[in-house]
Amino acid sequence: MSNKAHSKVEQRLEHLKAIAKNAGVKLTHQRLEIFRELAATEEHPDADSIFRAVQQRMPTVSVDTVYRTLWMLHDLGLVTTLGPQRDGVRFDANLEQHHHYVCVRCGLVRDFESADLNALHVPEAVKELGSIADAHVEVRGVCTKCLTQRTGEPSGNASTPTTPRSSTP
């Protein structure tokens, strides 16, 4: 991991810890390991992936603890969720403005930045539905790895759109 990446992970981790502590959350060893795992990944993991990774270092952690911790972080505004995905909700500790590329075959999710997409105007019809907390674009397609593997039909729903769509929480 480069120094810049390490620094970003440490910044995310410290931010998670500070806000949780200020909210009165006890920073247990298990919670800190979950925070660390989430802050260190760019993979947009689901709760089960975080559980498996943390369990390697801490065999006593439970799936329930991971889920409760992730939803607590969500309630504190420290993570966002992506989804719905075919394999469940995915969590994202990157709170900076960004968008997502999602592979419709393997489920890969990657962040990307775009000033043009950040400047998209939310239509008045959407604003009439209620307040807008956030908007991001999710671009769906087939990733380079899946394209080179030529595995045939995509797994999951083959009718999943491959054109960009705007989504809001």
Backbone angles phi, psi at 110, to 5 degrees: -135, 145
Residues 76 and 101 in one domain: no
pTM, full prediction: 0.59
116-121-124 Cα angle (round to 5): 170
Q: Do residues 71 and 119 share a domain?
A: no
Q: Is position 91 within any domain?
A: no
How many structural domains compose the chain?
2
Residues 20 and 48 in one domain: yes
Last residue of a domain, one of 56, 82, 108: 82
The CA-CA-CA angle for residues 79, 117, 164, to 5°, reads: 85
Q: Which residues are bridge partners to 110 per DSSP?
A: 101
**How crowded is residue 92: how many other Cβ atoms within 10 Å of its Cβ?**
20
User: Which tokens sit at 55?
Assistant: 């369990």
- Report pLDDT for 81: 79
- The parent domain of residue 45 ranges over 3-82
* CA terminus-to-terminus distance, the chain: 31
8-37 confidence digits (pLDDT tens): 889 999 999 999 999 999 999 999 999 999
Verify that 23 and 74 share a domain, yes or no. yes
Checking if the pLDDT of 165 tops 60, the result is no
pLDDT-based confidence at 150, cuts 50/70/90? Answer: low
Q: Is the dihedral of CA 107, 87, 63, 100 positive or negative?
A: positive
Q: What is the pLDDT of residue 85?
A: 52
Q: What is the CATH number of the domain that holds 28?
A: 1.10.10.10
Q: What tens digit of pLDDT does each residue of 95-139 get?
A: 888 999 988 778 888 999 999 999 888 888 988 899 888 888 889
